[in-house]
Structure 1
Amino acid sequence: MTVDEPNSDAALKPRAKVGLKEIAREAEVSISTVSHVMNGTARISDEVRARVMRVAQELGYLGMRRQRANTGTLSKLLLAVPAYGLAQTEANLFLWNILSAFRTRCAELNIALVPHSPPGENLTAEGIVQAAASNACDAVMLMHDDRPELLEPLAAVRNQLPPTVLVNGEDPNMNLDTVSPQNRFAAGRAVRWLTELGHRRVLHVTWGGRTTIARRRDGFHDAMAQVGIPAHEASVLSFQTWDLALAEQVLSEKLVEIVRREKITAIFCAADNVALHALNVLRRAGIRVPEDVSLVGFDNVMHAEMSSPPLSTVEVPVNHIGSVALRLLEERLIEPFDPTAPTRRVELECRLIKRASVAAPAS
């Protein structure tokens, strides 16, 4: 039997109207005391301050106050995304999910988005600077494009840019604030799970071109090194660039051959879409998952849970990436300009999702 807890979600939902008066009543203090706590205008005992802040949080006041503080600070944002990133396709589920959650958050905060996605594969520093200036944007969010050919020219024109953050990418020179998933450590955690189950002949399926994907490969090597398998001895199947047709071709031609030749017992793929294609290739060859080979992906796209068997994967917090990036931009806009202030790199925790596609290796 399930018993409803009296202080569950209902107690945490904001009331219709929450102000200092309501907080004072619940915390059993004066309105002036609440005002002093919120504004730091007088010394208040730690006990009283903690009680007031707890009540303010439970009533939803702190969230509303934070949202009001941001109103007007960031009103128009240039969203710079490579052209392929805006298409809702099977190959682009991960980035599309990030974009969808981000658009919803901007609508909630009344932030106008100005898309910048010129034709072709690549963004340019000149194009981003011109688009931000011509649209009078308060800030720039650059998504998914961390090529040196773009980041280095952007660094050279930083004084012409409003506050800018790179999302789902890395800037090795730390010229831009960045927000990305915990790619390396999360990948390592997934592969360590496989090795803890007893798998030693683990194949990594990946592709070249993006820093975030390279970090997942690093995590694979980290975990394999911990069980005595150095990088030059670890099994890796890599195709040149991300393209579903190319991935399907490479997997069809090489995956089964490698699995059989090297007696692979587990596969870790750099993305769920690749893992799902690998699952189909293995099934056509009569190789069972997980009885013969365990399979793990990365991203936790919707299709992963619906596959047969359901795909074990690493869940990326797509609903939070954009919100964290917005907070970085808002802080840059609020803070006094300081050219010596260090840039910030934020990594968000990713969770390992254990499903039926993984089992201990057959003896």
Structure 2
Amino acid sequence: MQTNANASRTRGSVWTDPKVRAWLFQILAVIAVVALGWYLFDNTQTNLDKRGITSGFGFLNNSAGFGIAQHLIEYTERDSYGRVFVIGLLNTLLVSGIGIVLATILGFILGVARLSPNWLVQKLATIYIETFRNIPPLLQIFFWYFAVMLAMPSPRQSLDVGGTFFLNNRGLYLPSPSATDGFVPFLAALVITIIGVILMARWGRKRFEATGQPFPTFITSVVLLVAIPGLTILLAGNPFTWEIPELKGFNFRGGWVMIPELISLTLALSIYTAAFIAEIVRSGIQAVSHGQTEAARSLGLTPGKTLRLVVIPQSLRVIIPPLTSQYLNLAKNSSLAAGIGYPDMVSLFAGTVLNQTGQAIEVIAITMSVYLAISLSISLLMNWYNKRIALIER
């Protein structure tokens, strides 16, 4: 009887052990997920076989047979769907990258302006924020595309800026550079200068922390970045030759062109996201204790230096996490490009390629994987930066 009682207590202690239950539930969850995944895969494969649809990624080697309005790499209609995928990916990254930079700059300016003691500046920033963050981004894209870009004059009546930049309803035409013999020395001098500026900035920060004496890092950096590459140009020659767009017939030839779809999408996403970033910056600045500002002023720091050296560095610890979400939203909102025909991943790959090949599962899986990879990359980079600036308690 004693033996049975001990065995019963042993079994009871096993099932009531939190660690055992945790492992058991995790194993059951994994089995359930695997079983569901296998069921979906088998069901999909069966339905594809019944309809005579072949699966796999061999279609990526087939010729696309259609043109693309914008491509950052060489492309012809004879190229494969795999190359179309690369072009769509690069176009998506281009919009996302430019949009993140512009939205961050504009958002920080508006966030600081929202707290300005100047009544007019504060109200203008408030009107901007409350207006653009409450209008759906797709409508803003339509506004910039149909009401602004397509309303521009024709190429023959282009808006001319200095004889080198031309804006019309077919896009913005820019001079394009071509490398010369002086490019390699210029690039080497620029890289060395940038490394030197980074090392100098670190030294200046350590010097300030040790002695309290500021070093003019910004002015010195600007001087070095201008003087050393400029001296290299004088010695080795101009690193570039510029091809200026020229009006030939009914359109411009030569140079670079930003198509109306790219301009409209970039402006709309940047302006829309900047309104949210401005509120994040405002809340981050207000989260810093007012005693920090008073201490900085008691030390004789000007309002500009107080904001740059005291308030902003501390507010970044509050700003970065929600800022990451806005970067992710901007990257995902770039898929709205399909509304105006900009050749991004969704428009090109999940649109044209899917319609031509019928490989719905493969195309959608690739597109989803691309956006997942972009989002995870942004999150990893921002989380790394957030950990780097985090306060470390001693």
Q: Which has the higher helix share?
A: 2
Instruction: Report the TM-score when normalising by structure 2.
Output: 0.27
Tell me which of the two structures has the higher relative contact order, counting C-alpha pairs closer than 8 angstroms and 6 or more residues apart: 2
Instruction: Report the TM-score when normalising by structure 1.
Output: 0.29
Could you say which structure has the larger radius of gyration? 2
Q: Which has the higher strand share?
A: 1
